[in-house]
Amino acid sequence: MMIPLSYYLILSAVLFTVGVIGVLVRRNAIVIFMSIELMLNAVNLSFVAISKHLDSLDGQIFVFFVMTVAAAEVAVGLAIIINLFRNKETINVDEINIMKW
């Protein structure tokens, strides 16, 4: 039995939504980062599923580049979070608002 493409796309959409809820609801900067990783993985799943559906490998190459960007983003983002914690002793995003005004 072949799993239909739409099953993978629905799974990916639900995974993306879980990531969006994490970004919007949680206040811990590290958990927000992890939710962003969840969203990136949801998109990767769509890429691979559609790449198989269309008999093309371009989707898988895009996943490769998405992983590169995710690695770069995590390295820089976590360095920023460490710096924030050093200066403000918190990573609660409600208390980090000095750039807001």
Please report, as ranges, the residues that interact with another protein according to CB under 8 A. Answer: 1-3, 5-11, 13-22, 24-28, 30-31, 33-35, 37-38, 41, 44-45, 48-52, 54-58, 60-61, 63-65, 67-76, 78-83, 85, 91-92, 94
For 92, the token pair is: 């609660």
CB of 101 to another protein, least distance (A): 15
Residue 5: partners with Cβ closer than 8 Å, 6 or more residues away: 49, 50, 53
SS3 92: strand
Nearer residue to another protein within complex by CB, 76 or 101? 76
CB of 68 to another protein, least distance (A): 4
CB of 12 to another protein, least distance (A): 8
CB of 14 to another protein, least distance (A): 6
Q: Is 19 left (phi over 0), alpha (psi -120 to 50) or beta?
A: alpha
* Residues 71, 67: Cα–Cα separation, whole Å: 6
